[in-house]
Amino acid sequence: MTSKVTYLGDLRTECTHLQSKDTFITDAPVDNNGKGEAFSPTDTVATGLASCMMTMMGIKARDMGVDMKGTTASVTKIMAANPRRISRIEVTLEFPFPTDEKTRKILEHTANTCPVHYSLHPDIEKEIVFNWH
């Protein structure tokens, strides 16, 4: 088992990673009867895409002798109705280090083939922007 989710009431859950015992809270978003005081479940999906992309790129970068420390990703999740679902995820990655074209291509390919990217339904639009500085 990977995790345990406990409903705390008032549209809030506590999610516990069983191996590390790390926890986080989710709340329903304001536009869906919630308080929006924490990540919503759909926020965690969209954020998970960026986190997975960066993790996989970090593994590949380490193998290539490239330090990705300080790289950031901005995530925007767009919802659709009927049924309510994630319709689009926008991720903008900012790389604070210079690198050559070959390294960029390898890292961008690695990001776009991460497990979460492959796991998301193909109807979810994904706009990924790589800003190399």
Q: Are residues 34 and 44 in the same domain?
A: no
What's this model's pTM, rounded to 2 decimal places? 0.95
State how far the Cα of 108 lies from the Cα of 57, in Å rounded to an integer. Answer: 8
Cα separation of 114 and 112, whole Å? Answer: 6
**Radius of gyration of the chain measured on its C-alpha atoms:** 17
Residue type for 25, please? Answer: I
What is the Cα–Cα distance from 44 to 75, expressed in whole angstroms?
A: 10
The conformation of residue 123, written as its DSSP 8-state character, comes to: T
Same domain, 30 and 83: no
Q: What is the pLDDT along the chain (133 residues), one digit of tens a residue?
A: 999 999 999 999 999 999 999 999 999 999 999 999 999 999 999 999 999 999 999 999 999 999 999 999 999 999 999 999 999 999 999 999 999 999 999 999 999 999 999 999 999 999 999 999 9
Boundaries of domain holding 23: 1-39
CATH code, domain with 80 = 3.30.300.20
Tokens representing 110 are 């690695």
